[in-house]
Amino acid sequence: MLYALFLTHVLANIATLVIKINNVSLLFMPSTPTTFSKDLRQQLRHQRRQLTSATQQQHAQQALKNAQQLLASNAFNHPQNIALFISQDGELSSQNLIQYLWQNTSHRVYLPVLQQHSEQPMTFALYRPDSQLKNNRFHIPEPFNTSTISASQLDWVFTPLVAYDDSGNRMGMGGGFYDRTFAFKQHQHKNTKPHLIGWAHSLQKITTLPTQPWDIPLCGVINEIQLEWFYGREPLND
């Protein structure tokens, strides 16, 4: 588990942060919020890449068990449109969850597809066992020659992330793709679909993240330890 503690209060969005990893404290004193976010991303990405294959596999198996608690709820009594992602860069593997959904449920699995221009929201392509994949410009596999839907047509979204905090704030890779794609949720009730669930290792959790007005928070996170809901954002049985 990655523990973070702000030692001084935030002045003009500038923070001093101590991150404790394996009993070693790392002091971040960024000159700007951008520098802070960059340093934090580098540290957390390094930590998850250092996990052994055996640990990665164990985390994925335990996370699947926690995901099954969610899938057993009344909200999944009828087929749902569920977005996932192809894990890379040490991310918690999503493959076990995808296989489970294919083999044991009638839910439809989708993967994000980038558009030609970065400012455009992602669409989501149906992903089946026989789907053909090709790499996008970031070398992430995407389905092609298949039907796509918009983000608003999804019921559940398991999102990748670099970090998340106690309040459900999410830090991605910095491209803003998920925030732009789900910007419409800023004008919705917080319990309204699609529900965004972080899929991550527990070591990616810190106490507090810097936020921006356009950030879209998570309603929950699944890691190898638990399914965690954030206060006031528990999905309704819809």
Contact residues for 70 (Cβ-Cβ < 8 A; gap 6+): 76, 197, 222, 227
The whole-model pTM stands at 0.85
pLDDT in tens, the chain (238 residues): 444 433 333 333 333 444 444 444 444 444 456 787 889 999 999 999 999 999 999 999 999 999 999 999 999 999 999 999 999 999 999 999 999 999 999 999 999 999 988 889 999 999 999 999 999 999 999 999 999 999 999 999 999 999 999 999 999 998 999 999 999 999 887 778 999 999 999 999 999 999 989 999 999 999 999 999 997 778 765 5
Spatial distance between the Cα atoms of 13 and 32, rounded to a whole number of angstroms: 8
Q: Of 195, 233, 226, which Cα lies nearest the Cα of 64?
A: 226
The answer to whether domain 53-229 has CATH 3.90.1650.10 is no
